[in-house]
A and B are shown apart, each in its own frame.
Chain A
Amino acid sequence: MNFLEVNNLCAFYGKAQALHNVSVDVKAGEIIAIVGANGAGKSTLLDSIMGLTTVTGDIRMEGKSLVGLGSAAIVSGGVGYAPERFNLFPYMSVQDNLLVGAFTARSDIERNLATVHQLFPRLEERKNQETSTQSGGERQMVSLGRALMTSPRLLLVDEPTIGLAPKVCSEIAVALRKMRDDLGATIVITEQNANFAMTLAERLYVLESGVVKAQGTVDELRNDTRLTEAYFGH
């Protein structure tokens, strides 16, 4: 049994079907990346795991089904999420943003806060700053930090590098790797930046128009034409 099993998932936003029979398996302690062009359904996949869309099919973590549970229950079951647009609380301080993340994991606050500050020292320096005044890179750090505050065993990160400068991208990559190595979290990221995904993840799923077009290890897919096809059509 894999840590996370997604089977034949179809997801809908109102009338539009965004995913068609998507199946993804993740082993405990893995980092995998879902890659594909804009609109391929990457964010929808993560939103669906979090219970934010209407779905058919099955999503199981450690054998337990997540389908039909509310987001709050999924979070307290051990799934952390850093969404693409961050969805931070703009007029709250960095510290308060992190503390909201601790809503269901109140006994771990001190330990988690120490971890977050160790991963992103900048968040400790600026803990009283409102997130609405922060740069994109800082917001990404708050978003990841808030996800960590939920004590996740599975961490979902949507487009960790979008809009970020290359230097910040590598900082984020280092942090994500540490979260897996030191905290033992299993990580699923989505990336439009396929090259970044290949440096971070062990395995890739290529998504195109809501369908899994290819999957495999980074080495298997590096020169696979199906990867570039997903972006350019041929």
Chain B
Amino acid sequence: MNLRWTHVVMWLAFVALMFAIPEFVSKGTLRTLIFANFLAIFAISWDVLSGRTGYISFGHPFLIGIGAYTSAILTKRFDVPIEFAIPAAVVMTMIGGIIVFLPALRIKGSYFALVTLAFMELMYQLVQVIRPDLTGGTRGMSGVQTLTRGAVNGYYLSVSLMLAVALSMWLLMRTQLGTALSAVGMNEESVRGSGLSTTKLKLFAFLTSAFVAGLGGAFYVHYLGSIAPRALFDINFLFTIIVAALIGGASTIIGPVIGAFFLTFLLEYLRPYLPGAERYFIYGLIALLLYMYEPKGLIALIDKGWQRLRGAADRKETV
């Protein structure tokens, strides 16, 4: 796993920074940060699957939705305590992950992406029709039990969850398993040709991604206290998740986190000028330009900048 002390220091600094933030910012900003934390979790979940193995999921809201709906329905309609509802939601989402995994045994590339898109649209339409007494139909549900009161507590819960997910995924991806998953994304045939079962690896990626998505989805619904199909199974939401992962830097852990915070704050800073959905115009344009210019994301830009600084310093030394 080759951990170095610099890693430990950087993680400690990161955690300390994240926990210190409520001391310095307003409650409004904290609410924005809470959304950024959840977005980061969703982006990490997307990246574990799509960024690593190359199986592009256009239906991630499908998984998140399973987690959110399961927990909301269990707590609101059946009075199941939250501490049981959330694990049950995660398990349901992992079952959903297996459903998404099955087509991946036969198809890949664009076709796989389209199937996942169809899953999302299917879920959107079914949720409104099947048992509206449970799902709340088109209007969704409100008055779902919340876990925390106030922005500060909400922030601490979301940031803890985000950091726990990020750290455990980071540790997992630093193992040989992480290397193998990335290898699947680069050349699946060569992974088989190295004697590794890609079916097993892919199943693991799908289950892990679903686990994180279900966890994030369930906690998210218990933070919001409400759920609506159009806000969840929505191309704009999907777009935000994917772009957060890509713009930050796919196939890394810190990348999706940076991407999520970047996007959330970009959206927030545009609010005074463009109050409605038209914010997505500037927001999307920036995302598109960044993606076209540097497909490896902000993390690669930062890295390049750092290398250049170091290069300049090195040159000075030698002179």
Q: Do chains A and B touch in the complex (CB under 8 A)?
A: no
Query: Which B residues contact A (CB, under 8 angstroms)?
Result: none
